[in-house]
Amino acid sequence: MAEDVEYVKNEKGEVAVACQIKLASNCAGKGAFCEDEEDARDWVEEECWVFSGVGYICLQCNEQIMRNLREIRPKTAR
Ligand SMILES: [Zn+2]
């Protein structure tokens, strides 16, 4: 199983899924620390983080992406 999901570890050896893009100023950064990678992934999936295919994107960053998409519209008219 090839995957590039990024994890963070704490001193206790617990793992959490890291937000893939850390775009939003209020980005969650990472999910909750769990015993292993699988639990950590379950946690973010329950929180409805978006799986991009290579990693997970937290809700705040996902919102930021949506906001950016709306702002990309050309502002040519005055
Ligand atoms: Zn994020």
pLDDT tens digits, one per residue of 10-37: 999 999 999 999 999 999 999 999 999 9
Q: Which structural domain range is residue 59 located in?
A: 7-71
The count of domains in the chain is 1
Query: Can you tell me the distance from the alpha carbon of 66 to that of 52, in angstroms, rounded to the nearest whole number?
Result: 14
- Rounded to the nearest angstrom, the distance between the alpha carbon of 77 and the centre of ligand 1 is 33
Question: Is the confidence at residue 70, as pLDDT, over 60?
Answer: yes
For residues 14-29, one letter each, b for 16 or more C-beta atoms within 10 angstroms of the residue's C-beta and e for the rest, the string is bbbbbbbbebbeebbe
Query: Can you tell me the distance from the alpha carbon of 68 to that of 23, in angstroms, rounded to the nearest whole number?
Result: 11
Tell whether 77 is covered by a domain: no
Quote the percentage of the chain above a pLDDT of 90. Answer: 85
Longest Cα separation, the chain: 57
Tell whether 1 is covered by a domain: no
Mean pLDDT of the chain: 92
- Rounded to the nearest angstrom, the distance between the alpha carbon of 2 and the centre of ligand 1 is 22
Tell whether 78 is covered by a domain: no
Tell whether 76 is covered by a domain: no
Question: Is the confidence at residue 51, as pLDDT, over 80?
Answer: yes
Tell whether 64 is covered by a domain: yes
- Rounded to the nearest angstrom, the distance between the alpha carbon of 57 and the centre of ligand 1 is 6
Tell whether 67 is covered by a domain: yes
Confidence of residue 57 (pLDDT cuts 50, 70, 90): very high
